[in-house]
Chains A and B, each alone.
Chain A
């Protein structure tokens, strides 16, 4: 592979790792203020290792939801990683233990960096460096964040409860380009808020996912190509 392409892939992997790692600090801090121990926060970053799902997990627990609702929401939010696996596995060409490792680092960032490359060799390089780079920095920063969060005391005094909403908005923002996504987002908020006073914590968020399934399933086939491209 040309040296230039190789260097560009490594540079992209590095910048994505640093940026993602930094918001690991906010994850760690929010995890302990949601009531998790430092070890539990770290276990999520090592074992679950998919940012959106981890934020969702602590969001549900922090709101007083049960463990089952938290785990189910995290799993549903991680469903997109299966699609990423299908995208990257043809050029990764890995078997056995390496495939088990590749699956663990199949996340938004590694998929984005690898699919931005021009040839399979550079794509593989981008995938592994972004995946492993994010893994190392995300975990280191989770630890920093959870120690800092523990030391801060009352989370409300520091506005950390507001930071959680902003974190979800930050994860949502890049996915709102398409009109249909905006409609689903608005519908999901309405459903979740309407159910909040009448259902146990955690249920409103899961129920909102039903909106997406209904809308996504019922779009006529003719509209589907455009939809996939803009969502």
Chain B
């Protein structure tokens, strides 16, 4: 089995056990403000870091290209409350268009 398959199955198992733990541990363990706070902020930090890495890096180097413009357009679309799928397609279209013309 390839390394990717191990990661798929291992990651899936870890995610499932996390969900199950929430159903099984006493509610007051997870109801602590500090736990809720750290969990919410970890989600924010990981997603923000992924936005940064997906948009500004390529092959381990910092890069500015069509993706930056596409992300800006996506941000405007989100601010205008566009649905998720529209935001994603719009970003792809902007990057594809910029590459096609230049």
Residues in A lying within 8 Å of B, measured CB to CB: 19, 22-23, 25-26, 35-36, 40, 43-44, 47-50, 52-53, 55-57, 59, 61, 63-64, 66-68, 70-86, 88-90, 92, 99-100, 102-104, 106, 156-173, 175-176, 180-181, 184-189, 191-193, 196-197, 201, 204-205, 208-209, 211-213, 215-217, 219, 221, 224-225, 227-228, 231
Contacts and interface: CB of A to CB of B under 8 A. Distances in A.
Given A26-B85, A83-B22, A163-B89, A185 B55 contact: no
Contacts, number: 327
A86 B46 contact: no
6 contacts: A48-B15, A49-B12, A55-B50, A165-B70, A165-B91, A209-B45
B25 interface: yes
A97 to B, nearest CB: 12
A193 B44 contact: no
Given A82-B30, A86-B30, A189-B52, A196 B57 contact: yes
Interface in B68-100: 70-71, 74-75, 78, 83-85, 87-97, 99
Contacts of A100: 20
Given A78-B15, A161-B54, A168-B54, A184 B41 contact: yes
- A interface secondary structure, majority: helix
A23 B88 contact: yes
Interface residues of B, number: 77
Nearest to A27: B88
Given A84-B22, A99-B23, A228-B36, A193 B56 contact: yes
A109 B74 CA distance: 22
Contact of A166 (B8, B18, B74): B74
A216 B41 contact: yes
Contact of A52 (B22, B36, B43): B43
